[in-house]
């Protein structure tokens, strides 16, 4: 390979690289050994993981990065990213000194909590990698929809650890990305062949190349650094290169740790019989031999710059950059180095080797001499990152004051959801043009089909509807094109949440608001739970519609029944869970979800729906709406000081209403509270209780206000098609007695009367629960 790279640039970047290794090490050292510890907990941080990737990040951030590129940095290289921004002047010394401390820079790059620009949060390994592929899909979506100029396209880049390649979500994403023909995506593997526990399996050698190549990726392997290439081209050198190729990962790592003398002994034992090779080895002293043997592609700035420069075009690219974990540090290569920390003697000797005077540890260019420091400063200031542009704030999209909902005495929330979206699709509302729907192979069975008929599948290349062309009758007339608004996914719920995360970050990443709506069967939220948490953690904004849900899916049975989903909805920060019983409630909550997606302090929404068709209620007025939006309203207002109420959520409202009708005679004034969001009620309760201590105000929460209509000694029968804990806590709000109904065991097939009887969700169960309170 002929080098076209300016040697001065390589030399300067080499200095920056050692500076990043130093600053990241020192930041971690400071937090663990110098800062006062008040709790005796290990602070932690990963010096070895950082040292492994500093050359890659130097070559990228200070040379190869384009102005519109976005990067997900492997979680344990967080300190390197902060050091880069420190050199750029975007990060303060105070933040570095408070690494992993309260209000300081976070352990792992965080979009919402760090003060430096972070494109994608990372932490749960694998997810930060996959989201970049879906972000490139979103970028293509925006280009195809005329929201982004093609010249503004950047690369979506993941800097990943090699152990992340063990995460299944990588391969689910790879398959989906191939189907969608994604482009402008780079994954750069810090291939140090060490995970947390151990060195990684040799048997995977070259397998990753095959897997990615099969999925249409360009695979660029950076095994040898420039010095290795030169030396191995000398007489006798090829044998050393071949020896490295055969060397098991664990042996290579152990020899790296042991150093030059060990390398020599082993190489001579294995290759010494070959005179030219032995002679070549003899030309290196121990230190030089160790440096040669670890001169891997991922540590060679020149090799990295060349590889990045040559990767032209928009083909997704995997760079396998061979590295040493802990490169340049005393525990380089040691299999236990993942959480290893240098001791004081070790870090001081690293400091001295860089010419940094004691006390000057935080100075960005300490020990370099004025001219060299000025040159580096100029290089840093001229780097692509210093010129990177942040997208403009997304223009708010008007949400209609009311979303029309279908009328009809008998309806299900799932069918109405499809209808509301269809009406939106047919409307000229600007909101409709920015809705993007997506579903992991349950588009039809979650009633999204009609929206897709109207708005089409999103495809970069035209996709003709063969059935429609052949005039074969079908309800689903789906053609794919650039203007399409539905992202079709295979059955991989994890991908659903990563796509929702990427779509839900369109505003901060690309300056355009999208309104992502994803559908899934309620029980299968659990399949993508970590990705859902990941999406919320970085404040992606979307609407999740989960349906059908609970035991109420009847004949589908226990395998498809969701039980603890309400608790997921209540427990997940960044996601507001509503469970409407009636379709006018649904329309209200969908509207709120669209508003909430673009509110500064907004978030995402989860609607738990059902296929059960139930009789709708007549509303004398819309007085119920404000309360419903806060989490609950009196469907049947209790008499003042009433001794009992039924508290119900979602699909079993008909049972609650029927029970209320009959109990009315025995318990005069009994109320029926429709809890539309156990989540909001509980959050409000927690906030009110904390409020007294946090800001000196103790205002009654919505749950307390509702329940204040009852006698303090009143009894509550709570009922939900899901974990009873979603509602039973309500008794704690005012100290009222509770008899909770709900599901805490697996269901089975059956029709609703049988199932509701067996699992105690019917009218009789409510009578029994009430009797239990009063007898
Ligand atoms: C989903 C998840 N599981 C486990 C962990 C704990 N963990 C953190 S790093 C790591 C191994 C990382 O190895 P690799 O990706 O090769 O990174 P590097 O060697 O560069 O540190 C593990 C298991 C995690 N962060 N996320
Ligand atoms: Mg690794």
Q: How far apart are CA 403 and CA 233, in angstroms?
A: 71
State if residue 488 touches ligand 1 by the CB under 6 angstroms criterion.
no
* Percentage of the chain modeled with pLDDT above 90: 91
Q: Cβ(333) to ligand 1 under 6 A?
A: no
Digit-coded pLDDT (tens) for 90-132? 999 999 999 999 999 999 999 999 999 999 999 999 999 999 9
Measured distance CA(251)–CA(162) in Å, rounded: 18
pLDDT band, very low/low/confident/very high, at 356 (cuts 50, 70, 90): very high
290 C-alpha to center of ligand 2: Å?
20
DSSP label of 401? S
Instruction: Give the nearest ligand 1 atom to 196 CA.
Output: 11
- 56 CB near ligand 1 (under 6 Å): no
Q: Which among 4, 102, 13 is positioned nearest to 62, based on CA atoms?
A: 13
Q: How far apart are CA 311 and CA 746, in angstroms?
A: 53
pLDDT at 1 (0 to 100) = 45
| Ligand number nearest to the C-alpha of 54 | 1
Using most ligand atoms within 8 A of CB, pick from 106, 126, 195 the residue to mutate for ligand 1.
195
Q: Is 49 in the pocket of ligand 1 (CB under 6 A)?
A: yes
Task: Tell me the DSSP string of 622-664.
Answer: STHHHHHHTTEEEEEPPPTTEEEEEEEEGGGHHHHHHHHHHHH
Sequence-distant contacts of 660-664: CB under 8 A, at least 24 apart: 660/636, 662/763, 662/767, 663/766, 663/767, 663/770
User: Which of 159, 161, 325 has most ligand 1 atoms within 8 Å of CB, for mutation?
Assistant: 161
Mean of per-residue pLDDT scores for the chain: 96
The alpha carbon of 645 and the centre of ligand 2 are apart by a number of angstroms equal to: 58
Task: Kindly give the distance from the C-alpha atom of residue 162 to the centroid of ligand 2, in angstroms, as a whole number.
Answer: 5
How many Å apart are CA 775 and CA 770, to the nearest integer? 8
Q: Whose CA is nearest to atom 15 of ligand 1?
A: 161
Q: What is the pLDDT of residue 3?
A: 55
Mean pLDDT of 305-334: 97
**Nearest-10 crossing angle of helices 7-29, 47-59:** 150
Distance 112 CA to ligand 2 centre (A): 26
Ligand 1: residue of 80, 163, 332, 339 to mutate (most ligand atoms within 8 A of CB) is 163
Q: 125 in ligand 1 pocket by Cβ < 6 Å?
A: yes
Structural tokens at position 601:
């302090």
Q: What is the mean pLDDT of residues 680-708?
A: 91
Residue 435 to residue 423: CA distance in whole angstroms = 13
Structure tokens, 670: 């009994």
Structure tokens at 456: 């089409």
Q: Does residue 76 line the site of ligand 1, with CB under 6 A?
A: yes
In ligand 1, which atom is closest to the CA atom of 126? 1
Pocket test for ligand 1, best of 131, 320, 338 (most atoms within 8 A of CB): 338
- Give the helix/strand (H/E) hosting 518: strand 515-520
Residue 193, class by beta-carbon neighbours within 10 Å (0-12 exposed, 13-18 middle, 19+ buried)?
buried
Spatial strand order in the sheet of 480-481: 480-481, 457-458, 486-489, 435-440, 515-520, 543-546, 604-608, 575-578
Distance CA 372, CA 364 (A): 12
Q: With a 6 A CB cut-off, is 196 part of the ligand 1 pocket?
A: yes
Strands 671-675, 632-636: pairing is antiparallel
Contacting residues for 472 by C-beta, under 8 A, at least 6 apart: none
Instruction: Indicate if ligand 1 lies below 6 Å from the C-beta of 47.
Output: no
* Candidate of 53, 55, 56, 76 to mutate for ligand 1, largest count of ligand atoms within 8 Å of Cβ: 76
DSSP states along 693-730: HHTS--PPPHHHHHHTTEEEEEEEEEEESS-THHHHTT
Give, for ligand 1, the residue of 196, 197, 333 to mutate: max count of ligand atoms closer than 8 Å to Cβ. Answer: 196
Q: Write b or e for each residue in 736-745: b if 16 or more Cβ atoms lie within 10 A of its Cβ, otherwise e.
A: bebbbbbbee
Measured from the CA of 200, which atom of ligand 1 is nearest?
16
Tell me the pLDDT tens digit for each residue of 401-423: 999 999 999 999 999 999 999 99
> Are residues 738 and 728 in contact, defined by beta-carbon separation less than 8 angstroms?
yes
Q: Which of 134, 203, 197, 195 is nearest to 165 (CA)?
A: 195
Q: Residue 189 has what pLDDT?
A: 98
Does ligand 1 have an atom closer than 6 angstroms to the CB of 325? Answer: yes
Helix 127-144 × helix 529-537 angle, to 10°: 70
| Residue in 199, 207, 229, 206 with CA at minimum distance from that of residue 296 | 229
* Residue of 75, 125, 199, 326 with the most ligand 1 atoms within 8 Å of its CB, for mutation: 125
Pocket flag, ligand 1, residue 749 (CB < 6 Å): no
Over residues 623-669, the pLDDT tens digits come to 999 999 999 999 999 999 999 999 999 999 999 999 999 999 889 99
Q: What is the pLDDT of residues 126-135, one digit of tens each?
A: 999 999 999 9
Q: Distance, CA 193 to ligand 1 centroid (Å)?
A: 12
Tens-digit pLDDT profile for residues 240-275: 999 999 999 999 999 999 999 999 999 999 999 999
**Chain-centroid distance, C-alpha 609:** 24
Residue 197 beta carbon below 6 angstroms from any ligand 1 atom: no
Average pLDDT over residues 52-80: 97
Q: Which ligand is nearest to the CA of 196?
A: 1
pLDDT at residue 141 greater than cutoff 50: yes
What is the CA(194)–ligand 1 centre distance, in A? 9
Q: 612 with 752: CB under 8 angstroms?
A: yes
For ligand 1, what atom is nearest to the CA of residue 127? Answer: 1
Q: What is the pLDDT of residues 451-491, one digit of tens each?
A: 999 999 999 988 888 888 888 988 888 889 999 999 999 99
Distance 91 CA to ligand 2 centre (A): 27
Residue 338 has a pLDDT of: 95
* Ligand number nearest to the C-alpha of 531: 1
Q: Is 256 in the pocket of ligand 1 (CB under 6 A)?
A: no
3-class state of residue 246 by DSSP: helix
- Report strand pairing: 575-578 vs 614-615: unpaired
Is ligand 1 within 6 A of the CB of residue 24?
no
| C-alpha of residue 163 to centroid of ligand 1, in Å | 6
Q: Pick the residue whose CA is nearest to atom 23 on ligand 1.
A: 196
Ligand number nearest to the C-alpha of 125 = 1
* CB-ligand 1 contact for 193 (6 Å cutoff): no
Which alpha helices (DSSP H) does 60-182 contain, by range?
Answer: 78-88, 93-97, 127-144, 168-179
For the stretch 359-407, pLDDT in tens is 999 999 999 999 999 999 999 999 888 877 778 899 999 999 999 999 9
Is the per-residue pLDDT at 2 higher than 70? no
Q: Is the peptide bond before 548 cis (omega within 30 degrees of 0)?
A: yes
SS3 breakdown of the chain: % helix, strand, coil, rounded to 5?
Answer: 50, 15, 40
Asked whether 533 lines ligand 1 (CB < 6 A), one says no
124 lines ligand 1 (CB under 6 A): yes
How many helices (H) and strands (E) in the chain?
Answer: 34, 20
- Cα–Cα distance for residue pair 768/770, rounded to 1 Å: 5
User: Cβ distance 535 to 497 under 8 Å?
Assistant: yes
């Amino acid at each position: 390979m002929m080098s076209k790279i300016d040697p001065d640039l390589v030399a300067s970047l080499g200095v920056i690289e050692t500076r990043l290794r130093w600053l990241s090490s020192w930041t971690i050292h400071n937090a663990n050994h110098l800062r006062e510890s008040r709790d005796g907990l290990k602070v932690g941080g990963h010096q070895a993981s950082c040292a492994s990737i500093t050359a890659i990040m130097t070559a990228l951030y200070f040379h190869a990065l384009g102005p519109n590129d976005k990067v997900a940095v492997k979680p344990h290289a967080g300190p390197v990213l902060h050091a880069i921004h420190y050199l750029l002047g975007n990060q303060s010394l105070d933040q570095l000194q408070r690494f992993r401390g309260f209000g300081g820079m976070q352990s792992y790059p965080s979009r919402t909590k760090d003060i430096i620009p972070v494109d994608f949060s990372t932490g749960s390994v694998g997810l930060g990698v996959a989201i970049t592929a879906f972000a490139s899909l979103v970028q293509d979506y925006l280009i195809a929809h005329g929201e982004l100029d093609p010249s503004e396209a950047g690369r979506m880049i993941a800097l990943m650890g090699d152990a992340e390649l063990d995460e299944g979500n990588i391969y689910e994403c790879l398959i989906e990305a191939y189907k969608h023909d994604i482009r402008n995506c780079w994954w750069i593997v810090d291939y140090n062949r060490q995970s947390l526990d151990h060195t990684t399996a040799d048997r995977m050698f070259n397998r990753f190349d095959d897997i990615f190549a099969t999925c249409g990726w360009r695979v660029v392997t950076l095994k040898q650094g420039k010095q290795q290439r030169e030396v191995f081209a000398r007489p006798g050198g090829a044998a050393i290169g071949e020896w490295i190729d055969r060397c098991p990962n664990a042996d290579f790592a152990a020899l790296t740790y042991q150093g030059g003398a060990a390398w020599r002994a082993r190489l001579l034992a294995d290759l010494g019989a070959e005179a030219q090779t032995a002679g070549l080895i003899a030309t290196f002293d121990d230190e030089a031999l160790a440096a040669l043997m670890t001169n891997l592609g991922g540590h060679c700035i020149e090799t990295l710059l060349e590889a990045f420069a040559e990767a032209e075009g928009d083909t997704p690219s995997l760079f396998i950059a061979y590295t040493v974990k802990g490169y340049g540090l005393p525990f380089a290569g040691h299999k236990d180095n993942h959480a290893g920390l240098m001791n004081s003697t070790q870090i001081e000797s690293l400091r001295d080797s860089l010419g940094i005077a004691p006390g000057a540890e935080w100075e960005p260019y300490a020990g370099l001499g004025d001219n060299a420091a000025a040159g580096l400063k100029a290089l840093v200031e001229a780097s692509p990152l210093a010129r990177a542009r942040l997208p403009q704030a997304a223009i708010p999209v008007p949400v209609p004051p009311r979303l029309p909902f279908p009328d009809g005495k008998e309806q299900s929330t799932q069918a109405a959801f499809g209808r509301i979206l269809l009406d939106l699709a047919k409307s000229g509302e600007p909101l409709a043009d920015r809705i993007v729907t997506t579903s992991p192979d349950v588009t039809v069975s979650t009633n999204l089909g009609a929206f897709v008929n109207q708005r089409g599948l999103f495809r970069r290349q035209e996709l003709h509807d063969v059935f429609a062309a052949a005039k074969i009758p079908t309800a689903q007339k789906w053609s794919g094109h650039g203007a399409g608004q539905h992202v079709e996914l295979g059955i991989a719920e994890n991908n659903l949440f990563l796509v929702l995360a990427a779509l839900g970050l369109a505003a901060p990443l690309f300056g355009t608001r999208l309104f992502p709506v994803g559908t899934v069967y309620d029980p299968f939220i659990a399949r993508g739970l970590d990705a859902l948490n990941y999406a919320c953690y970085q404040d992606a904004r979307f609407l999740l519609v989960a349906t059908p849900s609970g035991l109420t899916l009847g004949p589908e049975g226990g395998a498809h029944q969701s039980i603890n989903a309400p608790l997921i909805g209540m427990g997940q920060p960044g996601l507001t869970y509503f469970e409407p019983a009636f379709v006018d409630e649904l329309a209200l909550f969908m509207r709120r979800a669209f508003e909430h997606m673009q509110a500064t302090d907004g978030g995402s929404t989860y609607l738990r729906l059902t296929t059960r068709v139930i009789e709708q209620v007549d509303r004398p007025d819309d007085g119920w709406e404000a309360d419903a939006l806060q989490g609950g309203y009196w469907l049947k207002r209790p008499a003042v000081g009433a001794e009992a109420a039924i508290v119900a959520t979602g699909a079993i409202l008909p049972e609650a209403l029927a029970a209320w009708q009959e109990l009315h005679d025995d318990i005069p004034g009994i109320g029926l509270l429709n809890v539309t969001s156990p989540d909001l009620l509980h959050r409000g309760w927690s906030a009110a209780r904390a409020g007294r201590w946090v800001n000196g105000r103790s205002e009654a929460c919505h749950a307390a206000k509702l329940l204040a209509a009852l006698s303090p000694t009143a009894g509550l029968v709570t009922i939900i098609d899901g974990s009873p804990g979603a509602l039973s806590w309500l008794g704690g709000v005012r100290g009222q007695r509770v008899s909770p109904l709900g599901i805490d065991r697996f269901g089975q097939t059956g029709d609703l009367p049988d199932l509701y009887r067996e699992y105690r969700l019917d009218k009789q169960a409510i009578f029994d629960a009430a009797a239990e309170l009063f007898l």
